[in-house]
Amino acid sequence: MPKNIPVMISGVGYYVPKTVVTNDEISTLVDTSDEWIRTRTGIEERHVVSGSENSVFLGVNAANNVLSHTKVNPLDIDLIISATSIPAKAYPSVACEIQTQIGADNAVAFDVTAACSGLIYAMSIAKAYISSGMYKKVLLVMTDANSRFVDWSDRSVCCIFGDGAGAMLLEPSVDGVDDIIEIDLTAMGKLGDYISLEISGKNCPLVKPNEEKPLHIHMAGRDVYKFVMTYLPEKINKTLENAHMLADEIDYFIPHQANLRITDALTERIGFNKERVIENIQKYGNTSAASVPIAMTEAIQEGKIQLPCTAFLTGFGAGMTCGNAIVRLRKGIA
Ligand code: UT7
């Protein structure tokens, strides 16, 4: 008989690298301006990795942040899932490297690639494992360092991304209440060309050579924008419908921080209360998988989110993927 153990979100945390790059600094690299970037995206500055910092470094800091807050012994963690599109190495996985560095020697560890929908995809996997009774303490680490792979001469891409990591600890609920009220995932591989980072490598010298591609993020920004506005409102409404909830019954809307114009348009289309929308793209840019957990944790710590509450989380990005979740956030999680 399959079990159906309710899941509790017991902690959230985040980390961003210390180095900040402003719009004015970007305008020394490409033909752009602070005014263009602010008005078209909402972004004012972003944090980027420097020196040897990478997605593992960011993830370890975010993981330690949630572990010290929740006072969980790393040896008690059963599973680490890292949602990342920018692993420090193709292998070993980011999750295995984080496992070693935080001392979670008893955990199983693997990565999941769903770009900016990473948190929601990882949450759905954690929910399945915890509900079935297979694992108890599950640590999710969403970490990306896209600044390493943007073409710093492509003005429509280099101003968008920032680096960072978020973490979430999930475990069986202590009071029978499930914190994951609803979760819904979508993948549209046919639209995969909209955002891609091709790792072409080089064929064996004994065979016909392949075409080597530059290791840069390609993004058709306009198409991504249209994708979001065409499909996401319907998906968000379906998630609300499945939960038998209305937009105005949700306390906070925490969207992927991709572009302030996208957030505004979604908020308006769905009918979320504008006062209850969490935005921090101004300071961090688009941090990919890390964006929703950073926005959530920071807003809790700054008192912009009052706990306990319900929140609607939405992610969308390369794949193309979308993920929507309605969650309960308990007192004391950050
Ligand atoms: O995580 C999910 C991933 N990505 C997204 O969600 C991205 C979604 N898309 C966007 O945010 C927007 O499409 C962008 C911010 C990327 C671009 O804004 P846009 O308003 O869609 O601009 P556009 O691509 O249609 O370009 C309009 C003009 C072009 O010039 P021409 O051809 O009209 O002369 C671009 O070359 O704006 C130009 N442009 C810039 N100008 C100054 C593009 N980037 C810049 C820039 N500074 N940084």
Could you say which of 118, 139, 172 is where a domain stops? 172
**Which of 300, 296, 303 shows the shortest CA–CA distance to 325?**
296
Q: How far is the CA of 218 from the centre of ligand 1 (A)?
A: 13
pTM of the model: 0.96
Could you say which of 172, 193, 213 is where a domain stops? 172
296 CA to centre of own chain: 11
Q: What's 143's domain CATH number?
A: 3.40.47.10
Same domain, 298 and 206: yes
Q: What are the backbone dihedrals phi and psi of residue 313, each rounded to the nearest 5 degrees, phi first?
A: -105, 135
Atom of ligand 1 nearest to the CA of 259: 11
Q: Is the pLDDT of residue 49 over 90?
A: yes
Domain count for the chain:
2
Q: What is the pLDDT of residue 213?
A: 87
Judge contact between 47 and 20, C-beta under 8 A.
yes
1 occurs within a structural domain: no
Q: What is the pLDDT of residue 2?
A: 64
Q: What angle do CA 83, 95, 330 make, to 5 degrees?
A: 60
Average per-residue pLDDT in the chain? 97
Same domain, 268 and 287: yes
58 occurs within a structural domain: yes
**Which of 162, 218, 186 shows the shortest CA–CA distance to 316?**
186
277 occurs within a structural domain: yes
pLDDT in tens, 205-253: 999 999 988 899 999 999 999 999 999 999 999 999 999 999 999 999 9
Show the domain range for 198: 180-329
Nearby residues of 1 by Cβ (< 8 Å), 6 or more positions away: none
Dihedral sign, Cα of residue 80, residue 303, residue 263, residue 151: negative
Q: What are the backbone dihedrals phi and psi of residue 192, each rounded to the nearest 5 degrees, phi first?
A: -60, -25
The protein residue whose alpha carbon is closest to atom 11 in ligand 1 is 259
- Both tokens of 281, joined, read 């793209």
The model's confidence at residue 111, banded by pLDDT at 50, 70 and 90, is very high
188 occurs within a structural domain: yes
The protein residue whose alpha carbon is closest to atom 9 in ligand 1 is 221
Atom of ligand 1 nearest to the CA of 158: 48
Indicate which residues carry an active-site annotation: 116, 256, 286
